[in-house]
Each structure stands twice: as C-alpha cells, then as structure tokens.
Chain A
Amino acid sequence: MALEVGTNPMSMDAIAAALVEDFGGDLTDVRVQEPDTIVARCDRAALAAVAQRLKDHPQIGYQTLNWVAGVDRMKHFESIYHVYSWKTNTWLQLSVEVPFGTPEVDTVTGVWPCADWHEREAWDMFGIVYVGHPDLRRILLKDDFIGHPLRKDYIDNAENHPHV
C-alpha cells in the first residue's frame, strides 16, 4: 500500500544509519543534507552492484531513478544519481567520481531503465562513457558535433561549426 505524500515511517537519521550498516564500505560519506535528502558517495567499480542493492533494499528500496547528472569538478568528473524511495518518500543523491583519464563508469540502465536517456545526455555534454549502455550516442547535440561542450576545458572554435 502506497504511503501518503510526504509521510516517512523512518527518521532520516535511521535511514542514514541503515544505509551505513547495510552497505558498509560501499557507501561512504553518508549524511543527511536536507529534510528529505541523503547524500552519499560510491566507488565507481562497485556502482552497478550497489545500485541493484539500493533498489532491492527491503526497508528503503530506491525504486525510481529521477535523473543522472554530470559535473566537472576540475579535478575529476562526477556522475550523480538522484533516486527516490517510495517506501520512505525520501531522496538519495549518489555521487560517483569519474577520473579525467578514463572517464568510464558502469551503466545503471539494467537497474533503472530510465537511465538510458540521462546517461546519453551526460555522455553528450561531458564525455562520460557509460560502459554497457545499450545505445550510447548523442541525444541533444547533432551527431557530428566535435567535443563535449560542458567540460570546463572545452574551447569552442570554427571547426566545431562545419555547417553554419
């Protein structure tokens, strides 16, 4: 039975404690950021397994992925997953560090199918390669665009505009 909007049978601190206890070292830096949001970090090698366990968690169960964001932190990229728990009406913001040298991270489309287009957009704008993605190609920019424009080191020049 679905909860009423805004109700939460667990306290935020209890959810954070449960995440720390159940995931151990896989989730680091777990803290309550807002009244309904928990932020956490995850190692990129463990992401696919952690995502599946987050979705299948019996008490919390982050069943819905709302969006995937890419960030250029100047030292590394971040791939950020905003997931929602219908059992507690809370959010989890899961950050994964992606290094500049090999900007690769496992896809989560097998866990949350809606990650498909979001990961395509993050690849389009930041060049983060989602390994295992079924159809990783540009989604917003034209197919023959050169580079990834939201990277901080992206330099626009005339060669990037061959048609106009």
Chain B
Amino acid sequence: MGVSDLRYPKLENFNKPNVITTTADFIFSWARSHSVFPFTYGLACCAIEMLSSGFARYDVARYGMEVFRPTPRQCDLMIVAGTCNEKMAPVLRRLYDQMSEPKWVISMGACATSGGPFYDGYNVVNGVDKIVPVDVYIPGCPPRPEALFQGLLELQGIIQRYKFVAELPEVGAGGDGGRKG
C-alpha cells in the first residue's frame, strides 16, 4: 500500500449530471483520508520541519491536513516528531490514548523511529513503536517537509484500506448469517 494505491473519483463515473456512482467504502475512506487532523505535538527539532510544512511555503493544507489541533481529543493523527526520552514516554502513551478513534501514528525522523543519534542512550526510547503502534516511518534527520508529505500520502493509502461497511457473508452461506463468528 502507499501512494500508488491512492484512489480518486474517476470522471467516467459521472455518468449522470450531479450523480456519482461509487461504493460506501470508497466514498467514506476517500473523505476520511483527505481530512486528517494532525496533533500539534513536537518533541524536538523534527517539529520545526513539521511546523514548516504547515505554513505557506510547503502548505500541508493541499492534502486536507491543515487543521493542526492542540488537543488530542480532536485529532486522529499523531506525528511523533523528535526524540522521545523515557520520562516523556508515559506522556506520549497517555496522549495517544486520549485521541479519538480511528487514529494513526507517523514516526517522523530517525529519533522517533529508532532512537537515531541517541540510540542506546541512558534515557532515550529506542523507537516510539515500543510505546504506540506506528503506521508510517519517515527516515531523515530531520526529514524535509517533502519527506513528511510522502509519509502523509503513504498514510492516506493506509487509511483508504480501512473498511467502513461490515462485510457480511452472502445469504445462505451459513445458518445464522455468520454473525456468531
């Protein structure tokens, strides 16, 4: 999955004026993947690049992600930007737990991914994936905003993989419709 998996409505689907034929899965995942609310949360210098990508020069709003929210309860994307030390780790986990479902995590930069130049330090977490589940890793020290955008596009592909409509088995496949699992 990734950038190549991003899907957009095709013009040939506009077979009648003002009518789009598509699936519920697609239209919801397409909308959700283009209205990601990132969390205003930076740990170190990667946060500077993250903020830079939010402003006019790079402008993350082009991908529908301009609304950086300062509270975890309104966010569904945590960009872990910077070194996470062990004293910060419980706070990071708590903020992640406070985010509303569904939620995703991007590990931005070498420090958040593996500890980076501080690997094996006495107070450094060697990768935030020991604390929170990470969907996309972005290498770099720090990654440029273009690299962050690449990661965000990868994440959009992951979000579009999400199924919103429960897949029920065909009628007659099982006595109870398969609901007992």
Contact = CB atoms under 8 A, between A and B. Distances in A.
B71 interface: no
B130 A164 contact: yes
A149 interface: yes
Contacts of B131: 164
Q: Interface on chain B toward A: helix, strand, loop, or mixed SS?
A: loop
Contacts of B125: 164
A163 B86 CA distance: 8
B122 interface: yes
A161 B86 contact: yes
B94 to A, nearest CB: 13
A145 interface: yes
A142 B87 contact: yes
Nearest to A146: B122
Contacts of A156: 120, 122
Q: Interface on chain A toward B: helix, strand, loop, or mixed SS?
A: loop
A145 B85 CA distance: 12
A160 B121 CA distance: 11
Interface residues of A, number: 11
Contact of B87 (A141, A149, A154, A160): A141
A163 B122 contact: no
A84 B133 CA distance: 50
Given A164-B130, A164-B131, A142 B86 contact: yes
B123 A141 contact: yes
B89 interface: yes
A163 B90 contact: yes
Contact of A149 (B90, B122, B130): B122
Contacts of A140: 87
Contacts of A154: 122
Nearest to A143: B87
8 contacts: A140-B87, A141-B87, A141-B123, A142-B87, A149-B122, A163-B89, A164-B86, A164-B89
Given A141-B87, A163-B90, 14 more contacts: A140-B87, A141-B123, A142-B87, A142-B123, A145-B123, A149-B122, A149-B123, A156-B120, A160-B122, A163-B86, A163-B89, A164-B89, A164-B125, A164-B126
Interface of A: 140-142, 145, 149, 154, 156, 160-161, 163-164
- A-B pairs with lowest CB-CB distance, top 10: A149-B122, A142-B87, A156-B122, A164-B125, A164-B86, A164-B89, A164-B130, A141-B123, A142-B86, A161-B86
